[in-house]
Amino acid sequence: MGRWLRVLRLLISKEFAVELRGKEYTTLLFCTTLVIGALIGAGVSSAVLDAATTTKIYPMLVWVVFLITTTTSSARASETELDGRGFEGLLLAGVTGAQLYLSKVAVTTVMFFITWVLLLAVTSAALDQTLSPVYGTLLALGAGAALTLSALVVLVSGVAGTSTLRGVLMPLLTLPLIFPLFFAGVEITTECLLYGALTEGSIWPGVITVLCAAFLLVGVNSYEAVVKG
């Protein structure tokens, strides 16, 4: 078990090093977030909505931007390894599919979480929303959502990465599967903004937990098959 965890830690370090060296994925993710966030701000402003209506639609806008930017930007998440046969080399070296999958999920979760923080900052400024009283809850929500989303995205990027449609296929495969996350995210954000805190006994954190567990379970068990074919 100790060796297994050591290999996993090494893989996570490798993933971070590769990402920090190339910065392709990070650039794509953050720039897309900024551009779409700005577009949403301009769109809401041109609709001349009152403050109450803007607060009502804000959670939906944030989640639409978050899910679209993360899924479209992740089309190339596994491309380097898939093109350069990097996965096969690692698997031949004795690394398991579960370790590979979890290391990628860890790095992607961190990137998605930073995207979430960036998105909250950009959209709250653009749409004049005060998030400071509920920032802790929203950050916890972002962490859970980032983990759930990356558990799915890493698995699906292995599927979409070698298809003939590549980038187009990624959101098409991912978005229908994250409807429960979308519902849960919008509801929790709305509860936070309207009531100042998450309602006691709310079902939505449970929905995210179940979805996350399901995606992780499928990912850990099938990622090796996905990359090997």
Partner 1 sequence: MNSKTPTIWHSLATVVAFLLVACAQYYVFMVVPNEQVMGAVQRVFYFHVASALACYAAVGVVFVASLTYLATRKDGADLLSVAAGEVGFVLCTVVLATGMIWGHSAWNTWFRWEEPRLVTFLVLWLIFLSFTVLRNFGDPAKTAVHGSVLGILGAITVPIVYVSIKFLPQSARLHPEVIERGGLKDPSYWQAFGLSVVALLALSAVLVWVRYWLGSIEYRLRIGCDEGERVV
201 binds partner 1 (CB under 8 A): no
d(C-alpha 3, C-alpha 218), whole Å = 23
Task: Specify the 3-state DSSP secondary structure of 186.
Answer: helix
Taking the complex as a whole, the smallest distance from the CB of residue 141 to partner 1 amounts, in Å, to 15
203 binds partner 1 (CB under 8 A): yes
Taking the complex as a whole, the smallest distance from the CB of residue 121 to partner 1 amounts, in Å, to 28
Please list, in sequence order, all residues whose beta carbon lies within 8 angstroms of the beta carbon of residue 11, skipping any fewer than 6 positions away.
90, 95, 99, 100, 103
60 binds partner 1 (CB under 8 A): no
CB nearer to partner 1: pick between 34 and 218: 218
Number of neighbours of residue 182 by Cβ within 10 angstroms: 16
229 binds partner 1 (CB under 8 A): yes
Taking the complex as a whole, the smallest distance from the CB of residue 39 to partner 1 amounts, in Å, to 24
**Interface pick for partner 1 out of 115, 204, 216, 220 (rule CB under 8 A):** 204
Taking the complex as a whole, the smallest distance from the CB of residue 23 to partner 1 amounts, in Å, to 27
Please list, in sequence order, all residues whose beta carbon lies within 8 angstroms of the beta carbon of residue 180, skipping any fewer than 6 positions away.
207, 208, 211
Of the candidates 179, 187, 182, 192, the residue with the CA atom closest to the CA atom of residue 203 = 187
CB nearer to partner 1: pick between 122 and 173: 173
Of the candidates 23, 118, 126, 115, the residue with the CA atom closest to the CA atom of residue 72 = 115
Which of positions 150-179 make contact with partner 1 (CB under 8 A)? 152, 155-156, 159, 162-165, 169, 172-173, 175-177, 179
Which stretch in 38-46, 58-66, 83-91, 203-211 sits in contact with partner 1 by CB under 8 A? 203-211
CB nearer to partner 1: pick between 119 and 207: 207
How far apart, in Å, are the Cα atoms of 228 and each of 8, 10, 141, 158, 191? 19, 21, 34, 10, 43
214 binds partner 1 (CB under 8 A): yes
What stretch of H or E contains 136? helix 135-160
Local structure of residue 201 (DSSP, 8 states):
T
218 binds partner 1 (CB under 8 A): yes
Binding region for partner 1 (CB under 8 A):
152, 155-156, 159, 162-165, 169, 172-173, 175-177, 179-180, 183-184, 187, 203-204, 207, 210-211, 214-215, 218, 222, 225-226, 228-229
